[in-house]
């Protein structure tokens, strides 16, 4: 099965259990929104999927196309097709976007094979156009001195160039004004397709007006308390997270 | 002291291999007046040079090790166990074909003949104490440019040589300049006639092959009025178990309106003590620029200097130091303003990895009576691990009015988050580190000649690969 499969996952930071028995499946070709209040464990889940060294999986499994992700280093996961759009992307002083993405693509090639420079730049410029980014952007250092909107757009540009099989978008809408939000949403929508599964993590319903999800899951206190179609997001917007928590039974998954 | 092994030792360090020694001239172990006379006899020195050497020895013996401010690691050098002169006893060859096979193979492995064909105006290759190869492109030689070893310079161009030799760096400048003055051998002598602009760089390559050995080259470059020249030096040595000593003296003289650019990529093995004195004298409207990259050695102490003697003279030091486990890069710059409207610029970047230590020492001196002098100093340090260390000792004396000084310093660290971010894009931890470091030095490296920036980035990558995981 071509899917990202999270099964009964428990995550701890120190003594504190943040994620408590979370189960979620994101098949390729679908967009799943994961909503929840602050502190519900959404971002922790995102980091663990990518393999952040500060978090410990105490129980459960994560499989990507059947392969055990937890056995792999962060860079191995990335090269096998997992992408995380960071909520707070790091700055890399002195390293241009062009050089960074080139190194990232080069790392996916077998040893001894060199990335073809002309093809690379053609692809890079095409994706930038898609995101309404000026070409001069490529010679700026990654995230250095970027506005919030520029950082988020750069994340989506990287996703577009690296062409992952699964993308986790962590609060990609936070800190964006409505114009920037629309641009980013347009970028993500243009990447949707049968080969890409997306897990869209967000606090607000707003983003889901622009990126229409196939499914919506509500996460509270480290677990998924409700799952449903896109209408669930609207209902949640109306009734609030307390409603989601109170009425929770075992999550109805499809 | 011949080794029995005929097999070549090699590992990832390109310079870490050696061939059996085949020296005919050997001053033996230890340092005394006898050593000086041996060297002076072998080299057929004129009397004034022999005298100069003896004064150098006396000063060296009188001066204490500078351990009151410098690293105590200097005490690990046993000056009585070092060999001060080793050579095959032949003149430097003008073509690679004539160079003895072992030595030729050494330089071929280091890529020197290939680089010469590609982009150099001239090459000198020194093997232990003497130049074994020295050649200048015909067209450059026909312009009157002189590029020979120091011994040939002294023999064939005594009037220019003597006029400037030892004038920029006196014997007693420091203990190691005194040592070099006593036992110097090899190094380059360059003279560029008025108005001649040498388009391509002249390169010297210094190779240490022998164990328990000290290399003491002496380089003198004179750029006559309005001339321009770029000189590049590279160096490697195999890694022996005992300390190797390299103590050079380099003097540059840029006459009115001349420009000298001096580029070093120092990649000595990690058992080499690299204690070098480098200074340039810039006359009116002249420019001396040092580009200094220190990747190798156990302890480097080197502070390239410029004395701006004439009005509107300019001095510049751009330096990069990389200190890995077991290394201490103690580097910096000195800018001595001695005339009005002189300007100097220092940009120093250091990277400390593992238990490596980088030290920056800067001296900027502008006396009271001068007007409209400017200095800009930037020194940035990058620490890779929690155990890495960096120290900065700036000494800035600016007196009088109408002189401007600007000093910026920063220390930064490669964070876990940054490495995780890069790994999430597919780079291995080592690749991520390497890219971060390249980013850190990038704006500086961009100012280097292309051939050197490529070489430098490659060296940094090699260092980073070995330091992670």
In 3-state terms, what secondary structure has residue A229?
coil
Tens-digit pLDDT profile for residues A114-143: 999 999 999 999 999 988 889 999 999 999
Task: Give which of B236, B216, B191, B180 is closest to B15, Cα–Cα.
Answer: B236
Min CA distance, A239 vs chain B (Å)?
36
Is A108 near chain B, with CB under 8 Å? Answer: yes
| Spatial distance between the Cα atoms of B367 and B308, rounded to a whole number of angstroms | 12
Residue B26 predicted with pLDDT over 60:
yes
Asked whether the beta carbons of residue A94 and residue B442 sit closer than 8 angstroms, the reply is yes
Mean pLDDT of B2-14: 36
User: What pLDDT score does B69 carry?
Assistant: 93
For residues A203 and A161, which has the higher predicted lDDT (pLDDT)? A161
Residue B68 predicted with pLDDT over 80:
yes
Percentages (nearest 5) of helix, strand, coil residues in chain A: 35, 25, 35
Residue B14 predicted with pLDDT over 70:
no
User: What pLDDT score does B11 carry?
Assistant: 32
In 3-state terms, what secondary structure has residue A207?
helix
Q: Give the whole-number percent of chain B exceeding pLDDT 70.
A: 96
**With a CB-CB cutoff of 8 Å, which residues 376-415 of chain B face chain A?**
412, 415
**With a CB-CB cutoff of 8 Å, which residues 132-151 of chain A face chain B?**
141
Tens-digit pLDDT profile for residues A145-159: 999 989 999 999 999
Tens-digit pLDDT profile for residues B182-220: 999 999 999 999 999 999 999 998 888 888 899 999 999
Mean pLDDT of B329-355: 96
User: What pLDDT score does B4 carry?
Assistant: 31
Mean pLDDT of A182-197: 94
Tens-digit pLDDT profile for residues B99-118: 888 888 888 887 888 878 77
Q: Give the whole-number percent of chain A exceeding pLDDT 70.
A: 97
Helices B112-119 and B101-109, interaxial angle, to 10°? 60
In 3-state terms, what secondary structure has residue A185?
helix
Q: How confident is the model at residue B463 (pLDDT cuts 50, 70, 90)?
A: confident
Mutate to test the interface with A, among B414, B421, B431, B447 (most CBs of A within 10 A): B421
Q: Which of A73, A92, A94 is nearest residue B422 as measured by Cβ atoms? A: A92
Residue A250 predicted with pLDDT over 60:
no
Q: A33-37, A209-213, B441-445: which has the minimum mean pLDDT?
A: B441-445
How many CA atoms, within 13 angstroms, populate the side-chain half-sphere of residue A245?
A: 9
Strand-strand pairing, A56-64 and A3-13: antiparallel
| Spatial distance between the Cα atoms of B207 and B226, rounded to a whole number of angstroms | 33
For residues A133 and B279, which has the higher predicted lDDT (pLDDT)? B279
User: What pLDDT score does A205 carry?
Assistant: 87
User: What pLDDT score does B341 carry?
Assistant: 97
Mean pLDDT of B223-244: 90
Q: How confident is the model at residue A247 (pLDDT cuts 50, 70, 90)?
A: low
Tens-digit pLDDT profile for residues B301-328: 999 999 999 999 999 999 999 999 999 9
Q: Which domains are present in chain A?
A: 3-90+165-246 (3.40.50.300)
Mean pLDDT of B147-169: 96
Min CA distance, A228 vs chain B (Å)?
30
Residue B401 predicted with pLDDT over 90:
no
Q: How confident is the model at residue B238 (pLDDT cuts 50, 70, 90)?
A: confident
User: What pLDDT score does A254 carry?
Assistant: 37
User: What pLDDT score does A14 carry?
Assistant: 85
For residues A211 and B1, which has the higher predicted lDDT (pLDDT)? A211
**With a CB-CB cutoff of 8 Å, which residues 39-58 of chain A face chain B?**
50-54
User: What pLDDT score does A26 carry?
Assistant: 98
Arithmetic mean of pLDDT over chain B: 90
Q: Give the whole-number percent of chain B exceeding pLDDT 90.
A: 65
Mean pLDDT of A159-169: 97
Domain assignments of chain B as residue spans, ordered by start = 25-302, 416-469
């Amino acid at each position: 099965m071509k899917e990202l499969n999270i099964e009964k996952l428990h995550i701890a930071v120190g003594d504190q259990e943040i994620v408590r028995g979370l189960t979620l499946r994101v098949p390729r070709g679908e967009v799943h929104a994961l909503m929840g209040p602050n502190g519900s464990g959404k971002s922790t889940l995102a980091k663990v999927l990518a393999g952040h060294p500060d978090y410990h999986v105490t129980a459960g499994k994560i499989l990507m196309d059947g392969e055990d992700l937890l056995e792999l280093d962060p860079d191995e996961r990335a090269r096998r097709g997992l992408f995380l759009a960071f909520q707070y992307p790091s700055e890399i002083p002195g390293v241009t976007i062009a050089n960074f993405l080139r190194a990232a693509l080069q790392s996916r090639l077998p040893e001894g094979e060199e990335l073809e420079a002309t093809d690379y730049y053609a692809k890079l410029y095409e994706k930038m156009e898609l995101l309404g980014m000026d070409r001069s952007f490529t010679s700026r250092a990654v995230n250095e001195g970027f506005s919030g909107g520029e950082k988020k757009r750069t994340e989506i540009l990287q996703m577009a160039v690296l062409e992952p099989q699964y993308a986790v978008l962590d609060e990609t809408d936070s800190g964006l004004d409505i114009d920037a939000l629309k641009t980013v949403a347009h970028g993500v929508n243009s990447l949707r397709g049968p080969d890409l599964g997306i897990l869209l993590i967000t606090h607000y319903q707003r983003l889901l007006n622009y990126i229409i999800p196939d499914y919506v899951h509500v996460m509270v206190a480290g677990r998924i308390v409700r799952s449903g179609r896109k209408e669930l997001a609207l209902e949640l917007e109306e009734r609030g997270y307390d409603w989601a928590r109170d009425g929770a039974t075992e999550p109805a998954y499809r | 002291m011949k080794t029995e092994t005929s097999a070549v030792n090699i590992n990832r360090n390109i310079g870490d291999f050696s061939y059996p020694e085949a020296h005919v001239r050997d001053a033996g172990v230890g340092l005394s007046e006898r050593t000086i006379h041996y060297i002076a006899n072998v080299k057929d020195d004129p009397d004034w040079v022999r005298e100069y050497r003896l004064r150098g020895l006396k000063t060296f013996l009188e001066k204490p090790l500078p351990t009151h401010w410098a690293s105590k690691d200097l005490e690990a050098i046993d000056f009585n166990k070092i060999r001060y002169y080793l050579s095959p006893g032949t003149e430097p060859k003008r073509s690679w074909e004539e160079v003895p096979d072992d030595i030729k193979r050494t330089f071929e492995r280091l890529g020197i003949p290939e680089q010469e064909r590609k982009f150099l105006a001239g090459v000198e290759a020194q093997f232990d104490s003497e130049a074994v190869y020295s050649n200048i492109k015909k067209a450059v030689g026909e312009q009157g440019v002189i590029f020979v070893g120091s011994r040939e310079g002294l023999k064939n161009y005594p009037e220019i040589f003597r006029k400037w030799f030892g004038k920029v760096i006196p014997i007693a400048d420091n203990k190691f300049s005194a040592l070099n003055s006593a036992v110097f051998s090899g190094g380059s002598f360059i003279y560029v006639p008025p108005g001649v602009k040498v388009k391509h760089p002249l390169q010297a390559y210094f190779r240490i092959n022998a164990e328990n050995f000290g290399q003491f080259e002496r380089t003198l470059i004179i750029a006559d009025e309005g001339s321009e020249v770029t000189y590049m030096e590279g160096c490697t040595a195999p890694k022996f178990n005992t300390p190797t000593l390299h103590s050079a003296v380099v003097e540059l003289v840029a006459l009115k309106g001349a420009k000298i650019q001096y580029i070093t990529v120092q990649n000595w093995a990690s058992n080499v003590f690299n204690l070098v004195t480098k200074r340039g004298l810039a006359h009116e409207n002249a420019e001396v620029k040092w580009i200094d990259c220190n990747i190798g050695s156990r302890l480097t102490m080197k502070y390239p200097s410029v004395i701006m003697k004439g009005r509107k003279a300019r001095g510049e030091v751009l330096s990069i130091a990389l200190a890995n486990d077991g290394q201490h890069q103690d580097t910096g710059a000195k800018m001595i303003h001695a005339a009005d409207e002189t300007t100097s610029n220092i940009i120093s970047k250091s990277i400390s990895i593992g238990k490596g230590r980088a030290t920056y020492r800067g001296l900027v001196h502008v006396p009271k009576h001068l007007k409209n002098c400017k200095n800009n100093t930037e020194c940035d340090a990058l620490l890779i691990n929690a155990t890495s260390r960096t120290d900065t000792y700036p000494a800035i004396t600016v007196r009088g009015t109408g002189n401007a000084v600007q000093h910026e310093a920063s220390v930064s660290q490669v964070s876990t988050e940054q490495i995780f971010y890069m790994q999430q894009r597919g780079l291995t931890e080592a690749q991520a580190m390497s890219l971060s470091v390249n980013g850190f030095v990038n704006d500086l490296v961009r100012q280097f000649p292309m051939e050197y920036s490529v070489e430098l980035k490659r060296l940094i990558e090699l260092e980073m690969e070995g330091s992670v995981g």
